[in-house]
Amino acid sequence: MKVMITRIIACISLALSMCGNLLASDICIADIRISGNKITKDFTILRELPFRKGDIMPEDQLVPQLTVATEHLNNTSLFNYVYIDYIPDTLNRADYISCIVTIRVEERWYYWPQVSIKLEDRNLSSWLHEKDFSRITIGWGLRVYNVFGMNHKITASHYFGFEKGLRLAYSNIALDKKRTKMLGFSVSALYNKTINIRSEDNKVVYIKNPDRFLDRTFESVVNYTYRPGIRNTHSVDAGYKRVDLNDTVLKINKDYRGTDHLTDHTFMLSYKYSYEHRDYITYPTKGYYVGTEITGMTADKMCFFYGELNLRLQYYEEFFPRWFWSSRLNTGATFKNKHAYIYDRHVGYEEKNITGYDYYVIDGQHHAILNNDIRFLVMPKKIFRLGSS
């Protein structure tokens, strides 16, 4: 009796195992076919895929992998539309089935005249409150994307108005065939007759000299990026900055930059790490992001030291059809050996904003900001083909 029961159990186990193998069969990507890329090189597209030709995976993982590939190709901002599908392959084997992945892209226009109007305030609400039309910077120039079909980017800009100057940048230069190591650089020269000199009662105080520049800044930065996968990115920046201040600045605020020299030479080194898992970088609605940055700089012939550590966490979710929730945490800690106003500007500056606190700023050495938003999708995405029957 025991022998019979043992045999029955063994037969049932074998049958379940065979059923499991049939239900969870593997699929092999026999080929990847790309169309629509008149300028973009194939390897530029293949770099963004989470799979390669010849990869074998469980069949139920193929569609999620195609979705990830679509998201990453969209996040390159090289294409208007990306369509990825698969078709069965005739060369099937006993242990797995084969398929051919088809990628069809519609390339965007890569040469863009750059015309920008920038409100030189911390945010739109603050600018509307002051209505100071002298704090507007107008920029013009040219931005070229996907240079040589290799996702290189060149930017040349000229600014006038509140801020005057020039900027030239060249980025995404591949250093290896796998395109895991990238190089970029930028140089800029900016001039201001109006600067934020200090804060009083949690509000920014500006000074203006209509005849002379209060701040003249020249900066050059070299960037090295290592991207071993489609989600992880390591980046190192090394830069030099020369700042020439008008003597009026230090007379009003002697602790403006942490040095007592009108001409300041600053050397900077920073490391950034990011893990990208958002569906669309420009306006994410699903997924999450993790980013950290460590920055160190020295000035005044190495008599002034400054260090900063930042951590950014973001989470996005659709909790109801067309309703989205986002949560963004921004934390930072700074260390320096001398008091310097420009390095104490925290809440209310750049990306360190608090919803509902638009008119005010908070100076300090450390910060932690948590913003939560609920958004409603007013106009769902719909594609219209002009001239189609």
Return the SS3 of 388: coil
**pLDDT tens-digit profile of 217-271?**
999 999 999 999 889 999 999 999 999 999 999 999 999 998 888 999 999 999 9
- pLDDT for the residue 359: 81
Distance CA 47, CA 366 (A): 38
Distance CA 135, CA 118 (A): 9
Sign of CA dihedral 111, 67, 274, 43: negative
Q: Does domain 25-107 have CATH number 3.40.50.300?
A: no
Q: Does domain 111-376 have CATH number 2.40.160.50?
A: yes
Domain layout of the chain by residue ranges: 25-107, 111-376
**pLDDT tens-digit profile of 109-153?**
999 998 887 776 666 677 777 777 777 888 899 999 999 999 999
Q: Is the pTM of this model over 0.85?
A: no
**pLDDT tens-digit profile of 70-96?**
999 999 999 999 999 999 887 766 678
